[in-house]
Structure 1
Amino acid sequence: MSLAAHGHCLRGIVGRELLRFVHQRSRFVAALVRPLVWLFVFAAGFRMALGVAMTEPYQTYILYEVYIVPGLVGMIQLFNGMQSSLSMVYDREMGSMRVLLVSPFPRWYLLLCKLLAGTLVSILQVYVFLAIAYLYGVQAPAMGYVLMLPALIVTGFLVGALGMLLSSLVRQLENFAGIMNFVIFPMFFLSSALYPLWRLREGSELVHWIAVLNPFTHAVEMIRFAMYVRFNVEATLIVLATTMVLLALAILAYNPAKGMMARKGGPGGGD
């Protein structure tokens, strides 16, 4: 297959995902409402719990919002990655996944295109959220919004590959919705998205070590450092390595000869 044909395939898959996102306006609203509620309500409650009066200097009570915004960015990507994988289960039940995977393009390339499409959608959501947070007063250095883009791409692939792997293990749409909640909430709350690791360690040594072993923690730290024009080498290497492993497992799982699709009767979900 020529390079132009591969490019046409990529445009088709990405365009389909973007059109689906545009037509599902409730999905876009939900993606923004969730982190905004945490930013406006949870952070305000946290300030009250700290006993920080609203009469204090603005910089004093905005510190927690500055800290959790990268964590909420990770939340957007985490939920979107699972949502994109949910659409894969739906496509498999409807049969459109079979049409995609029997095309002459390599299966790994098709899955990568699907991951890239979901990642681009999540990045669009992230920057809209960051624009609202900026108007609210949570502002990072201008260069930080540029430098965090590679971190967002890697994180999008991380959560997307995880969701894709899970989608290969589930046959019915209803079952995947339950698994999503079982995965999303532990990954988010047992991470440094809302509290720094040292604070978690003060509360529970066990929770601290679970957060350290959670790859989402390192994805959030990678985004957080990049947003404030710094580079976390350790977090980046961990996220890249985890992404490669999950991606390899997802591609293997969708291999009709070796993976879960072989044991489920192919991408259409039949026996």
Structure 2
Amino acid sequence: MNGWFGALRAIVGREFLRFVHQRERFLAALVRPLVWLLVFAAGFRAALGVSIIPPYQTYITYEVYIVPGLCAMILLFNGMQSSLSLVYDREMGSMRLLLTSPLPRWWLLFCRLLGSTAISVLQVYAFLAIAAIFGITVPPLGYLTVLPGLVIAGLMLGALGLVLSSFIKQLENFAGVMNFVIFPMFFLSSALYPLWKMAESSALLYDICALNPFTYAVETIRFLLYVDFDAKSLAWVLGSTVIFLAMAVWGYDPARGLMKRKG
């Protein structure tokens, strides 16, 4: 067990050191959601008024509605950023060296996933603090109850990044693949507008949004921010996390995925 926890400390510590030495990464993670919150939300406020929907108890402004979606956006982009670093590590050879450890491959990947998720959660809390400065707050207890939701959603999106990194052969191909993952997941979800508004415009788009795991990550965060609980969303997120992590372990199997292609 000492070896297992030693690997956990080393891998998570390496992720934090990398994060500390890349301060622009922290700023970039905050600028993106703040632009949506302070610029786009102001323009969309009149066009996208939000009625009373769970977990809200009264009419809310558009800025209040999109905060959970922007929290999930931070988790999504950071998960993809982490997968980019995995592709880089693979090209440099450090990923191959890590996977030669006698420890189980799933544990090594989980340690990497846990480190990136911890960084994502810190970035989300920094965003919530800035949002509070601009008057967009949640119930005080919500800042605590949302923590498990952030961790679970971060693990799911990070695991998806692991899957993608296991199938991307070259760093140059990463940006193109991400454009086909990040933006459809974000825009075809409940991050920017309620699903009932999507249903009014297109039943097909509504069905796509309802099958998007990112939608349930957003809703898990939304309910927990307001000290509420949505069992369906949580079940979707947990199930998707297990599936993505299993696919990542398969993708990094020397007999099938990374090592076979690179050998």
TM range (shorter): over 0.9
User: What's the % identity of the aligned pairs?
Assistant: 63
| Deviation, structure 1 residue 48 | 4.3
Question: Counterpart of 2:101 in 1: which secondary structure?
Answer: coil
Alpha-carbon separation, structure 2, partners of 1:45 and 1:126: 23
Corresponding residue for 1:182? Answer: 180
2:237 pairs with 1:261? no
The whole-number CA distance in structure 1 between the counterparts of 2:166 and 2:13 is: 23
In structure 2, the gaps of 5 or more residues are 50-57
In structure 2, the partner of 1:151 is 149
Shift of 1:101: 0.8
Q: 1:127 to 1:21 in 2, by over 3 A?
A: same
RMSD: 1.5
Instruction: Output the CA distance in 2 between the equivalents of 1:12 and 1:153.
Output: 20
What residue identity is the alignment partner of 1:212? Answer: A
SS class of match (1:142): coil
Q: Which residue of 2 aligns with 1:28?
A: 26
- In structure 1, how many angstroms separate the alpha carbons of the residues matched to 2:59 and 2:154? 31
Q: SS at the partner of 2:181?
A: helix
Task: Trace 1:3-152 onto structure 2 (pairs within 5 A).
Answer: 3-49=1-47, 63-152=61-150
Could you tell me how far apart the structure 1 residues matched to 2:23 and 2:259 are? 35
Deviations 1:110-143 (A, max 9, x none): 0000000010010010000000001111111111
Check 1:10–1:50 CA distance in 2 against 1; reply closer, same or farther (3 A cut): closer
How far 1:213 sits from its partner (Å)? Answer: 0.5
1:142 to 1:106, Cα distance in 2 relative to 1, 3 A = same
- Does the 8 Å CA contact 1:76/1:122 hold for their aligned counterparts? yes
Alpha carbons 1:162, 1:247 under 8 Å: kept: yes
How many residue pairs match? The answer is 255
Shift of 1:62: 6.4
Q: TM-score, normalised by structure 2?
A: 0.94
Structure 1 CA distance for aligned equivalents of residues 42 and 184 of structure 2: 23
Work out whether residues 47 and 61 of structure 1, in 8 Å CA contact, stay in contact via their aligned partners in 2: no
Structure 1 gap segments, 5+ residues each: 52-59, 266-270
8 Å contact from structure 1 (residues 62, 138) kept in 2: no
- CA–CA separation in structure 2 for the residues paired with 1:36 and 1:100: 36
Supply the distance in 2 between the matched residues of 1:256 and 1:62 (Cα, whole angstroms): 51
Contact 2:142–2:227 (CA under 8 A) maintained in structure 1: yes
Give the Å deviation of 1:47: 2.0
TM-score normalized by the length of structure 1: 0.91
